[in-house]
Amino acid sequence: MGDLFNKKADEWDTQSIPLQLSKTIGPALIENVILDPDMEVMDFGAGTGLLTSHIVPLVKSVAAVDISQSMLDKLAAKPEFHNKVTAYCQNILQQPLNKQFDLIISAMAIHHVKETAHLLKSFAQHLKPGGRIALADLDTEDGSFHPPQTEGIFHLGFDRESFSLLLQDAGFEDIQFLTAHIVEKEGVDFPVFLVLGRKK
Protein backbone atom coordinates (compact mmCIF):
# COMPACT_ATOMS: atom_id res chain seq x y z
CA MET A 1 0.00 0.00 0.00
CA GLY A 2 1.24 3.48 -0.78
CA ASP A 3 1.52 6.33 1.69
CA LEU A 4 -2.13 7.39 1.98
CA PHE A 5 -1.16 10.46 3.98
CA ASN A 6 1.53 11.72 1.61
CA LYS A 7 -0.59 14.60 0.29
CA LYS A 8 -1.99 15.40 3.74
CA ALA A 9 1.25 15.63 5.69
CA ASP A 10 2.22 19.21 4.78
CA GLU A 11 -1.02 20.70 6.10
CA TRP A 12 -1.93 18.16 8.81
CA ASP A 13 -0.89 20.32 11.75
CA THR A 14 -3.13 23.16 10.59
CA GLN A 15 -6.27 21.09 9.98
CA SER A 16 -9.18 21.80 12.33
CA ILE A 17 -10.14 18.27 13.35
CA PRO A 18 -6.62 16.91 14.02
CA LEU A 19 -5.92 20.00 16.14
CA GLN A 20 -9.24 19.64 18.01
CA LEU A 21 -8.49 16.01 18.75
CA SER A 22 -4.95 16.72 19.89
CA LYS A 23 -6.08 19.52 22.20
CA THR A 24 -8.67 17.31 23.89
CA ILE A 25 -7.20 13.79 23.82
CA GLY A 26 -3.79 14.97 25.04
CA PRO A 27 -5.08 16.59 28.24
CA ALA A 28 -7.53 13.72 28.84
CA LEU A 29 -4.62 11.28 28.63
CA ILE A 30 -2.47 13.32 31.02
CA GLU A 31 -5.37 13.62 33.47
CA ASN A 32 -6.10 9.89 33.52
CA VAL A 33 -2.68 8.22 33.12
CA ILE A 34 0.17 8.55 35.59
CA LEU A 35 3.24 9.63 33.63
CA ASP A 36 6.77 9.74 35.00
CA PRO A 37 10.24 10.75 33.76
CA ASP A 38 11.41 7.12 33.48
CA MET A 39 8.54 6.03 31.25
CA GLU A 40 9.13 4.65 27.74
CA VAL A 41 6.10 5.17 25.51
CA MET A 42 4.94 4.01 22.09
CA ASP A 43 2.67 6.36 20.12
CA PHE A 44 0.93 4.12 17.59
CA GLY A 45 -0.17 5.95 14.44
CA ALA A 46 1.84 8.91 15.64
CA GLY A 47 1.51 10.91 12.43
CA THR A 48 3.16 14.31 12.80
CA GLY A 49 3.37 13.96 16.58
CA LEU A 50 0.35 15.98 17.69
CA LEU A 51 -0.39 13.58 20.57
CA THR A 52 3.27 12.95 21.32
CA SER A 53 3.77 16.70 21.84
CA HIS A 54 1.56 16.61 24.95
CA ILE A 55 3.45 13.87 26.76
CA VAL A 56 7.05 14.17 25.57
CA PRO A 57 8.05 16.65 28.33
CA LEU A 58 6.73 14.25 30.98
CA VAL A 59 8.34 10.93 29.95
CA LYS A 60 11.76 9.49 29.17
CA SER A 61 11.24 8.66 25.50
CA VAL A 62 8.63 8.10 22.80
CA ALA A 63 8.73 5.61 19.93
CA ALA A 64 6.61 7.21 17.21
CA VAL A 65 5.21 4.40 15.05
CA ASP A 66 3.43 5.00 11.75
CA ILE A 67 3.34 3.56 8.24
CA SER A 68 3.34 7.03 6.65
CA GLN A 69 6.91 8.19 6.04
CA SER A 70 5.69 11.63 4.99
CA MET A 71 3.92 12.15 8.32
CA LEU A 72 6.93 10.91 10.27
CA ASP A 73 9.21 13.24 8.31
CA LYS A 74 7.15 16.16 9.67
CA LEU A 75 7.43 14.73 13.17
CA ALA A 76 11.19 14.24 12.91
CA ALA A 77 11.65 17.85 11.82
CA LYS A 78 10.22 19.25 15.07
CA PRO A 79 13.10 20.43 17.27
CA GLU A 80 11.22 19.78 20.52
CA PHE A 81 11.29 16.05 19.72
CA HIS A 82 15.02 15.76 19.13
CA ASN A 83 16.80 13.34 21.51
CA LYS A 84 13.52 12.07 23.00
CA VAL A 85 11.43 10.79 20.07
CA THR A 86 12.45 8.05 17.64
CA ALA A 87 10.40 7.49 14.48
CA TYR A 88 9.67 3.98 13.22
CA CYS A 89 8.07 3.69 9.80
CA GLN A 90 6.90 0.11 9.96
CA ASN A 91 3.90 -2.15 10.38
CA ILE A 92 4.34 -3.63 13.85
CA LEU A 93 1.93 -6.47 13.01
CA GLN A 94 4.41 -7.70 10.44
CA GLN A 95 7.61 -6.35 11.96
CA PRO A 96 7.39 -5.89 15.74
CA LEU A 97 9.73 -3.51 17.51
CA ASN A 98 12.41 -5.31 19.47
CA LYS A 99 11.51 -3.69 22.78
CA GLN A 100 8.72 -3.30 25.32
CA PHE A 101 7.15 -0.15 26.70
CA ASP A 102 5.52 1.14 29.87
CA LEU A 103 2.66 2.75 27.96
CA ILE A 104 1.13 2.65 24.47
CA ILE A 105 -0.94 5.61 23.32
CA SER A 106 -2.86 6.14 20.12
CA ALA A 107 -5.27 8.70 18.69
CA MET A 108 -7.63 7.97 15.79
CA ALA A 109 -5.40 5.30 14.24
CA ILE A 110 -7.01 1.99 15.12
CA HIS A 111 -9.89 2.32 12.65
CA HIS A 112 -7.23 2.37 9.93
CA VAL A 113 -6.09 -1.16 10.89
CA LYS A 114 -8.12 -4.06 9.52
CA GLU A 115 -7.15 -6.68 12.10
CA THR A 116 -8.19 -5.08 15.39
CA ALA A 117 -7.79 -8.19 17.53
CA HIS A 118 -4.31 -8.83 16.11
CA LEU A 119 -3.33 -5.22 16.77
CA LEU A 120 -4.45 -5.29 20.41
CA LYS A 121 -2.53 -8.54 20.98
CA SER A 122 0.50 -6.86 19.40
CA PHE A 123 0.11 -3.98 21.84
CA ALA A 124 0.16 -6.47 24.72
CA GLN A 125 3.33 -8.06 23.32
CA HIS A 126 4.96 -4.63 23.12
CA LEU A 127 4.18 -3.82 26.77
CA LYS A 128 6.11 -4.69 29.90
CA PRO A 129 4.15 -6.65 32.53
CA GLY A 130 1.70 -4.20 34.07
CA GLY A 131 2.18 -1.80 31.17
CA ARG A 132 -0.75 0.41 30.20
CA ILE A 133 -2.70 1.52 27.16
CA ALA A 134 -4.51 4.78 26.47
CA LEU A 135 -6.22 4.48 23.09
CA ALA A 136 -8.55 7.02 21.51
CA ASP A 137 -10.84 6.36 18.55
CA LEU A 138 -14.34 6.89 17.25
CA ASP A 139 -17.44 5.40 18.74
CA THR A 140 -19.51 3.50 16.18
CA GLU A 141 -20.58 5.95 13.46
CA ASP A 142 -22.67 5.86 10.28
CA GLY A 143 -19.81 6.22 7.82
CA SER A 144 -20.12 9.97 7.39
CA PHE A 145 -17.13 10.96 9.52
CA HIS A 146 -14.70 10.55 6.63
CA PRO A 147 -15.30 11.91 3.12
CA PRO A 148 -16.69 9.37 0.64
CA GLN A 149 -14.13 7.03 -0.95
CA THR A 150 -11.52 7.76 1.71
CA GLU A 151 -8.92 4.99 1.48
CA GLY A 152 -7.68 2.98 4.42
CA ILE A 153 -10.84 3.04 6.57
CA PHE A 154 -11.57 -0.45 7.87
CA HIS A 155 -13.94 0.31 10.75
CA LEU A 156 -16.74 2.85 11.19
CA GLY A 157 -15.75 3.44 14.77
CA PHE A 158 -16.06 0.84 17.51
CA ASP A 159 -18.70 -0.39 19.91
CA ARG A 160 -17.26 0.07 23.41
CA GLU A 161 -18.53 -3.22 24.80
CA SER A 162 -17.18 -5.22 21.85
CA PHE A 163 -13.86 -3.36 21.99
CA SER A 164 -13.61 -4.10 25.71
CA LEU A 165 -14.04 -7.82 25.01
CA LEU A 166 -11.25 -7.68 22.42
CA LEU A 167 -9.00 -5.99 24.97
CA GLN A 168 -9.77 -8.63 27.58
CA ASP A 169 -9.01 -11.36 25.05
CA ALA A 170 -5.67 -9.66 24.30
CA GLY A 171 -4.72 -9.81 27.97
CA PHE A 172 -5.82 -6.44 29.38
CA GLU A 173 -7.68 -5.68 32.60
CA ASP A 174 -8.82 -2.59 34.55
CA ILE A 175 -10.47 -1.41 31.33
CA GLN A 176 -12.18 1.98 31.52
CA PHE A 177 -13.82 4.12 28.85
CA LEU A 178 -14.39 7.85 28.91
CA THR A 179 -15.49 10.31 26.26
CA ALA A 180 -12.46 12.44 25.41
CA HIS A 181 -14.06 14.63 22.75
CA ILE A 182 -17.08 15.07 20.51
CA VAL A 183 -16.34 16.12 16.93
CA GLU A 184 -19.12 18.17 15.38
CA LYS A 185 -19.29 17.95 11.59
CA GLU A 186 -22.17 19.40 9.59
CA GLY A 187 -24.57 19.18 12.51
CA VAL A 188 -23.63 15.60 13.45
CA ASP A 189 -21.84 14.69 16.68
CA PHE A 190 -19.12 12.04 16.59
CA PRO A 191 -18.00 10.98 20.09
CA VAL A 192 -14.38 9.95 20.55
CA PHE A 193 -13.58 7.56 23.38
CA LEU A 194 -10.39 7.14 25.36
CA VAL A 195 -9.98 3.61 26.68
CA LEU A 196 -7.53 2.83 29.46
CA GLY A 197 -6.27 -0.59 30.45
CA ARG A 198 -3.43 -2.54 32.01
CA LYS A 199 -1.61 -5.62 30.79
CA LYS A 200 -2.10 -8.55 33.15
Three-state secondary structure string covering the chain? CCCCCCCCHHHHHHCHHHHHHHHHHHHHHHHHCCCCCCCEEEEECCCCCCCHHHHHHHCCEEEEEECCHHHHHHHHCCHHHCCCEEEEECCCCCCCCCCCEEEEEEECCHHHCCCHHHHHHHHHHCEEEEEEEEEEEEECCCCCCCCCCCCCCCCCCECHHHHHHHHHHCCEEEEEEEEEEEEEECCEEEEEEEEEEEEC
pLDDT at 5 over 80: no
What are the Cα distances from residue 10, in Å, to 17, 51, 76?
15, 17, 13
By percentage, how much of the chain surpasses pLDDT 90?
84
pLDDT for the residue numbered 10 = 59
What confidence category does residue 143 fall into, taking pLDDT thresholds of 50, 70 and 90?
A: very high
pLDDT at 16 over 70: no
pLDDT at 18 over 70: no
At CA 124, angle to CA 120 and CA 17, rounded to 5? 50
pLDDT (tens digit, 9 = 90+) per residue, 165-177? Answer: 999 999 999 999 9
What confidence category does residue 3 fall into, taking pLDDT thresholds of 50, 70 and 90?
A: very low
Yes or no: say if 12 and 18 are a contact pair by the CB < 8 Å rule: yes
pLDDT (tens digit, 9 = 90+) per residue, 61-113? Answer: 999 999 999 999 999 999 999 999 999 999 999 999 999 999 999 999 999 99
Q: Which fold has domain 9-199?
A: Rossmann fold (3.40.50)
What confidence category does residue 8 fall into, taking pLDDT thresholds of 50, 70 and 90?
A: low
